[in-house]
Amino acid sequence: MLQTNRLTYTLKHLCLLALIALFVSACGATQQIGKGDKRFELEQYDKAIEYYKGALANAKNPGEVNYKIAESYRLSNRLAEAEPYYKAALDAGFKKEDAYYYYGMALKANGKYEEALNQLQDYARIGTNSRLKGLAAREVENFGQLSDIMRGTHAFEVQNLTALNTEASEFAPYILNNELVFSSTRTGGKAYMGNGEGFIDIYATALTDSMAEKAGEVRKYDNVNLEGIHDALATFANDGKTMVFARGNEGSKKGRQNVDLFVTYFRSNAWTEPKLLTINDARAWDSSPAFSPDGKTLYFSSDRKGGLGGNDIYKVTLDENNRFGSPENLGPDINTPGNESFVHVSPDGTLYIASDGLPGLGNLDLFRVENGKPVNMGAPVNSPGDDFSIYFQSPVRGFFSSNREGGKGGDDLYGFVKSQRKQVNFFVDGTVYLRREGAKQQTIVPNQLVILQNEKGQKLKETTSDAEGKFSFSLDTASTYSLVSEKAGFFTARQRITTVGKIPSQDKLLEDVTDIRLNATLLLNEIVKEKPIVLENIFYDFDKADIRPDAAIELDKLVEVLQDNPNISIELSSHTDVRGSDIYNQDLSQRRAESAVEYIISKGIDRSRITAKGYGESRLVVKNAKTDAEHQRNRRTEFKVVRIRE
């Protein structure tokens, strides 16, 4: 009895200790979440992440904590890292609506395009937040251009400036007086609580041809950088004597809104005290300045009231006395509901921008403005990550910034040179036709939807035929596709097209860019019930009903017809010639028909949609056949549509 009482006491004591431990853990988690929330409110996202992660294991609401971690990563410009935390939040049943949208964008930032498209399509369909719903719908629309962008121009070869980059961030290249001026968080001072990196300062180093392998001494810009504040994105005019740069985001919400533009002048061998530009909006974020080559126009990015979305690009002209005029929004041809920034005007006058609102590969992509419209620069300049702040040293050489996978730090500097390899672009040009039963001629089909599928049957793009029934798609190299068109009452038209093995050798290409155009025809045949359709090349070994490999190839085409037309049911029939007895031929044809049907069912077609019927020699095509060719016409396999579901 004494032992029993002791055991009971011990068990109660252990349970009490366990409950106390759980209570202490829960209290500790609550305290850490509270500390994380305070840091979050102060935009000290890196410290907030630390507290939230510490609370996650014992939190009563892990879905909400995962969401807060994801938001902290997103708001500190680390969207790709937010992906698993958005997923964990949603999997745990946390239903905050913007998590659905930003999870899709995080998937895109990691190059998971198919998953991202599905997520954003779902949100665009069921979301209730009109702004996010609109952004999701725009992203879904942008995905239609993804394959074209991934095909890209491949006009440049890129290289990480490994010797210059550090584990911190380096970005915003500019060339002045044979120096590469750039911005970096490599400072040894206190960390910026927003992302855990150092505060940004402006640096310079001697420009060389081998900066990827060997970098020279790096110096800070004197009288410009302030301790404990961001100074970045320098641009120059007046032969390098005028500098405009962005300053702010010290981690405090007091005073002006985050970031503003400052100007300083190089006089008496030193930079003057930086002054606020009059073009700043005290209630807005103003940053990423860039002078035109003649120094008469300043471009910048701002989220000021009256814009088209997040950050828009503005320009302002300077008069003869270098006074700044009134900012002008570049308008809807350039700006989107997303973010546009990091302008550069190349020596030939071409405008380059970075945007996450235009069709792209990830977050920020680089665009070249042609005829007033931004054109994605494609890979390898762009990637699923942030690609921005491009700078052309010459028409064929320059630098840009990226936080793509495989880099050395947060943002890295990359060099690029124009590729010497000649480029090949593939296109398919097609026409849609329609043929009705009994009609002498086929007719063109205008305004007909045509879909381009990849080899797995997944939709890549869609278009509509023009007034002459014609359509066109751009294609990737070394890829196989299907062109598909559907119309009620007609068999789905499908044609396979491939670019595999069709790239000419470089020595046979006469131009820097060569377009190769393939041709296609899609024919929509009217579905007529009870009309026999012969399956060509369905052969059997003598006296056997086994499906031969050559017959399997043809039966696979019928499987495709059934997959493309799920509303039809068919009878598959087998016929023999007159050689052999009637009873034997009837049995043989039935076995062959059943064998073919079993093969089709093995490919995933519902058994209820297909019936096997052997007709033996009862339905001869050529009566009184004498030659082998005539007998072969009688030995045939056919199918006919027997039912069409509405």
Identify whether residues 466 and 576 lie together within a single domain. no
- The answer to the question of residue 416 being in a domain is no
Q: What does the pLDDT read at residue 627?
A: 84
**Cβ-contact 402, 161 below 8 angstroms:** no
The CA distance from 44 to 30, in Å, is: 19
Q: Contact 394/348 with Cβ under 8 angstroms? A: no
- At 567, which CATH number? 3.30.1330.60
Residue 234 lies in a domain: yes
Cβ atoms 277, 261 nearer than 8 A: yes
User: What pLDDT score does 255 carry?
Assistant: 37
Q: What is the structure's pLDDT at 22?
A: 45
CATH number for the domain including 485?
A: 2.60.40.10
**Is residue 290 pLDDT above 90, yes or no?**
yes
Number of domains in the chain: 4
Q: How confident is the model at residue 170 (pLDDT cuts 50, 70, 90)?
A: very high
The pLDDT assigned to 20 comes to 44
Statement to judge: residues 49 and 112 lie in one domain: yes
pLDDT in tens, 492-514: 999 999 999 898 888 888 887 88
Quickly state the pLDDT bin for 262 (edges 50, 70, 90). very high
Sort 506 into a burial class: Cβ within 10 Å, 0-12 / 13-18 / 19+.
Answer: exposed
- Residue 8 above 60 pLDDT? no
Return the percentage of the chain with pLDDT > 90, whole number: 58
Residue 413, in any domain of the structure: no
Q: Do 241 and 359 have their domain in common?
A: yes
Mean pLDDT of 407-428: 88
Indicate the pTM of the whole model.
0.69
Residues 209 and 126 occupy one common structural domain: no
Identify the H or E element spanning 122.
helix 113-126
If you average pLDDT over residues 310-338, what whole number do you get? 93
Q: Quick one: DSSP state of residue 352?
A: E
Q: pLDDT tens across 243-257, in order? A: 999 998 654 444 334
Tokens 């068109």 locate to 485
Q: What is the mean pLDDT of residues 481-490?
A: 95
pLDDT at 543: 67
Q: Which of 13-17, 135-139, 146-150 has the lowest mean pLDDT?
A: 13-17
Check if the beta carbon of residue 368 is closer than 8 Å to that of residue 144.
Answer: no
Element containing residue 415 per DSSP (H, E): strand 412-418
Q: How far apart are alpha carbons 249 and 526 in whole angstroms?
A: 66
Does position 632 have pLDDT exceeding 80, yes or no? no
334 found inside a domain = yes
Query: What burial letters (b/e) apply to 434-460, b meaning 16+ CB within 10 Å?
Result: bbeeeeeeeeebeebebbbbeeeeeeb
Co-location of 347 and 233 in the same domain: yes
Contact between 411 and 392 under an 8 Å Cβ cutoff? The reply is: no
Last residue of a domain, one of 495, 525, 555: 525
The larger pLDDT score, comparing residue 419 to residue 354, is at 354
HSE-CB for 5 with a 13 A CA cutoff? 2
pLDDT digits (tens, 9 = 90+) for 214-236: 788 899 987 888 888 889 999 99
User: Lowest-confidence range among 53-67, 298-312, 469-483, 623-637?
Assistant: 623-637
Same-domain status, 388 and 327: yes
Kindly tell me if the per-residue pLDDT of 10 is higher than 60. Answer: no
438/567 same-domain check: no
Same domain flag for 271 and 139: no
Give yes or no: residues 573 and 640 share one domain. Answer: yes
Q: Are residues 286 and 188 in the same domain?
A: yes
Which residue is associated with the tokens 């740069």?
A: 245
Terminal Cα-to-Cα distance of the chain (whole angstroms) = 79
Q: Is the pLDDT of residue 294 over 70?
A: yes
Q: What is the mean pLDDT of residues 324-328?
A: 93
Convert the pLDDT of each residue in 63-108 to its tens digit.
999 999 999 999 988 999 999 999 999 999 998 899 999 999 999 9
Q: Is the model's pLDDT at 150 over the cut of 80?
A: no
Domain interval for residue 261: 151-408
Decide which of 501, 525, 549 is a domain's last residue: 525
Q: One-letter amino acid identity for 597?
A: V
**254/344 same-domain check:** yes
Contacts of 139 by beta carbon, 8 Å cutoff, 6+ apart: 104, 105, 108, 116, 120
